[in-house]
A = this chain, B = another copy of it.
Amino acid sequence: MALNTMTDDSAFANERVVALAGGVGGAKLADGLARVLPPGALTVIVNTGDDFTHYGLHVSPDLDTVMYTLAGIAHPVNGWGLADDTRQMIEMMKRYGDEAWFGLGDRDLATNLLRTHALANGWSLSQITHDLASRLGVTSHLLPMSDMSVATNVDTIEMGILKFQEYFVRHRWQPVVKRVLYEGAESAYPAPGVKEALETATMIVICPSNPVLSVEPILRVQGMRAALEARTVPCVVVSPIVAGAALKGPAAKLMAELDLEPSVIGIADYYGRLIDGIVIDNEDSASSQHIKQPSLASNIVMREVTDRVRVAREVLAWNKELMR
């Protein structure tokens, strides 16, 4: 199925959209959605299974990637971190003999300091997230999946159980993963506003994020999978895999290691009944006949901001189609 790109966004004026997102890919689509929808109409529920404590700082990589992207200040090449950031603190850590394997930027430290300080003073993660995002001019609702601690750990053949950032950054996702653990997820409650956003949404979008590492932690939070299964509005996923390769990161490699098919078919199967459709790349259009759910083929590689806006429009328009 093909669809003309819409340019009149008034068609979406009454939508209330919930997007589930991980890091860079998720942030890009969330940014497109935020640009197309009226202010406040988008709620992004962000994975916090990657959160960890480093140098005593509470680091929330995915939350910050989405926040910086929505604020228009993300690093234009990396996708994560801040534009024009430097690594002076990290250089000094090395002077102290520290390995300094996690590249916290200097500007990024302001975010981590404000968040850590607020949490130490009794604020919740969702409160400080709202505060920081507002101060940066973000008008979409940015919600951590939970205010409680959930830790995504990976059990690897070479190194045993690794914390997510150890696996992802320190070891550059090279170890072979046997299974993924979501510590604390089943006892974690969704953050305030998460359930309400899902209940009042007119459509749900699962962003092109790693299904196992970025979206699954959100689904594992208490009641989240059930809430999605009980939805009365359509939910579509945008594939993070194009032509058998991840657009970024270890999605394809990891899926293969876990005996999941590293393709748009595998992505659609992974979500199963949770989605009413999948948006795939034109390169994968031949696979659509093997996908159980409805699919929409488009150019889903988001290189420029215009791509984000275009894909967002296509996703929203298609979602409206599915609603009927």
Binding site for B on A (CB under 8 A): 55-57, 73, 82, 85-86, 88-93, 95-98, 105-111, 113-114, 116-117, 120, 132, 135-136
Contact = CB atoms under 8 A, between A and B. Distances in A.
Contacts of A92: 82, 106-111
Contacts of A82: 92
Contact of A95 (B86, B91, B120, B136): B136
A243 B27 CA distance: 62
Contacts of A56: 113, 116-117, 120
A136 B96 contact: yes
Contacts of A110: 89-90, 92-93, 95-96, 98
Contacts of A107: 88-89, 91-92
Contact of A109 (B89, B97, B136): B89
Contacts of A105: 88
Most buried by B among A57, A98, A110: A110
A55 B113 contact: yes
Contact of A55 (B55, B97, B114): B114
A114 B106 CA distance: 15
17 contacts: A55-B114, A56-B113, A85-B88, A86-B86, A86-B106, A90-B110, A92-B106, A92-B109, A93-B110, A93-B114, A95-B110, A95-B135, A96-B114, A96-B132, A96-B135, A106-B109, A109-B109
Contacts of A97: 135
B86 A117 contact: no
Nearest to A100: B110
